[in-house]
Amino acid sequence: MRRSALAMVVVVAMALPAVVHSSEREVRSPQDIFADRCAYCHEAGGWGTRVLARRVPEGQAELRQRDNLPPALTMLVVRRGIGAMPPFTPTELSDAELEALAEWLASGTPRQRP
């Protein structure tokens, strides 16, 4: 009985690294993250867009239209939140994903709509 319990522990312990590995999340593309987590507030007509329209130059309120959004600002705002925008934790959005998203928003790419 004791022996089989010990064997069980050994088997589970050996299996663990595989389990941990397989549950690692894949890195999602900036496009997917934006669509999932940001677009409902930051597309045209979204709440974030409407709030930003009050304080950014005309034509810049939609994040994907911005031509002056430094990656450092996006990374700070997403982690800390700003005004009514909630912060995002590293569990929701990894550092690597956030960095890629910030670069994507800062580049011209987002303005070239499909």
Q: Of 94, 99, 87, 96, which Cα lies nearest the Cα of 38?
A: 87
Listed ranges 1-9, 11-19, 20-28, 76-84: which one lies at the site for ligand HEC (CB under 6 A):
76-84
Report the C-alpha dihedral over residues 70, 90, 80, 53, rounded to 10 degrees: 50
Listed ranges 6-14, 19-27, 44-52, 106-114: which one lies at the site for ligand HEC (CB under 6 A):
44-52
Q: Is 30 in the site for ligand HEC (CB under 6 A)?
A: no
Q: Is 53 in the site for ligand HEC (CB under 6 A)?
A: no
Name the phi and psi angles at 13, rounded to 5.
-60, -35
> Given the rule CB under 6 A, which residues bind ligand HEC?
37-38, 41-42, 47-48, 51-52, 56, 63, 73-74, 77-78, 82-86, 88, 101
